[in-house]
Amino acid sequence: MRISVGIDVAKEVHWTTAVTQDGRVLLDRKVENTAADIGRLAVEVAALKGERLIGIDLYGGIATLLSAMLLAAGERLVHVPGLAVEPMVRAALAESTSTGQFLPRLMTRITEAQRMDRWLEGTPAHVLWMKAIEASVPDALFVHVIRDGRDCALSTARQHWAAPLGLDRRRGTGVAALYWEWMVRAGRAYGRRNAADYDEVRFEALVGEPQRALERVGRFIGQTLDFERITQGRVHALKQPNTSFREERTRGAFNPVGRWKAPDVADDVALCEALVGPYLDSLGYQRAFPEERAGLTEMRMRLMYMTYFGIKHFAKAHTPLGRVLTSSRPWAQQPYAGEPPVAPIAAERAVEEPAAAAR
């Protein structure tokens, strides 16, 4: 019996599905990108017996551990690159006379190749670029997901997305809260000027009342969004949440709402509320420490970081520093033009290519 195993490779969690030649599903689960869980996967795949072939969509880099362990277990691996993006990139570049024309032309090509009707881009930082996006994609619609600033700050601080300056090394969560306010203000300012193309939805509503929240978004974008249908899919964000709190996934207690209520983060929350409390109030979020007021340190931080964020964004958008601050590394993992749709992976290739790239 032939068994096909497909692995969708990701940085933290892979997704594995194994099916027989007649379509019967034998295995369908997430796999942590750790030696322990990959080892368990190798045992499960071996227990399937039959003539097994494993296809992965990336090799090297974040797939190195996975590839090496499965090859060491005696499995056969092939690289299935999926959509060949580079030829589309070259075609879009050839047709474009400005950077603003490039992205919509590339995304339209990808959308058509996948037989889809629309494309979606969900990078949170792009809330700062809505005016530029509108100029490049005149029919773009913007759904601004607003989350409680305290929960957002706790997550952002973990990922070091708003690194504090030297004087505030111990106040990273507070700096992240200021970054949250600065970002949300930018998005809402655009929304006030462009109400027809802009809608807001609360993150807490998406989690607590998903169908009701999705119906509102669906009416805005002109697309039926059925929560039950979404959850029936084999891979979606509820099965494999993208979170900086990885330990919650392993404990089976994942809840991204209200983490700020935990006693062990009370000091961080008090600082957040002293820094952004009035803006939390304006959005309808109740404070845990309503008596907290901004002292000299908090006033200094607000003035310094709100100015710093603005200057940094201007430098990135309008000066040559933008080339230094923007990474193109993700393109390194895309299939190359002319690459065969299925390429066998040898043990030495899986392990040595990342080392060669590093040199």
Measured CA to CA, the distance from residue 32 to residue 40 in angstroms comes to 10
pLDDT score, position 12: 86
pLDDT score, position 175: 97
pLDDT score, position 352: 47
pLDDT score, position 353: 47
Quick one: CATH architecture of 120-324? 3-Layer(aba) Sandwich (3.40)
**Token couple for 282:** 């304006």
Measured CA to CA, the distance from residue 290 to residue 198 in angstroms comes to 31
Measured CA to CA, the distance from residue 118 to residue 140 in angstroms comes to 10
Closest CA to 165 of 312, 270, 280: 312
Q: Are 33 and 68 in contact (CB under 8 A)?
A: no
113 φ, ψ to 5°?
Answer: -65, -30
Which residues of the chain fall below pLDDT 70?
A: 82, 233-241, 246, 249-253, 323-359
Long-range CB contacts (< 8 A, 24+ apart) of 160-168?
165/304, 165/308, 168/301
pLDDT score, position 235: 56
For residue 212, CA distances in Å to 5, 188, 207, 322 come to 37, 22, 10, 40
For residue 296, CA distances in Å to 35, 263, 299, 302 come to 49, 26, 5, 10
Where in the chain is CATH 3.40.50? 120-324
Within its chain, how far is the Cα of 196 from the centroid?
27
Amino acid identity at 311: I
Measured CA to CA, the distance from residue 180 to residue 167 in angstroms comes to 20
pLDDT score, position 234: 59
313-329 residues labelled b (16+ CB within 10 A) or e (exposed): beeeeeeeeeeeeeeee
Let me know the angle formed at the C-alpha of 184 by 180 and 185, rounded to the nearest 5 degrees: 115
**Token couple for 79:** 């690289």
pLDDT score, position 250: 64
* 242-274 residue pLDDT tens: 777 767 766 666 788 999 999 999 999 999 999
Q: What is the CATH number of domain 2-80+342-358?
A: 3.30.420.10
pTM over cut 0.85: no
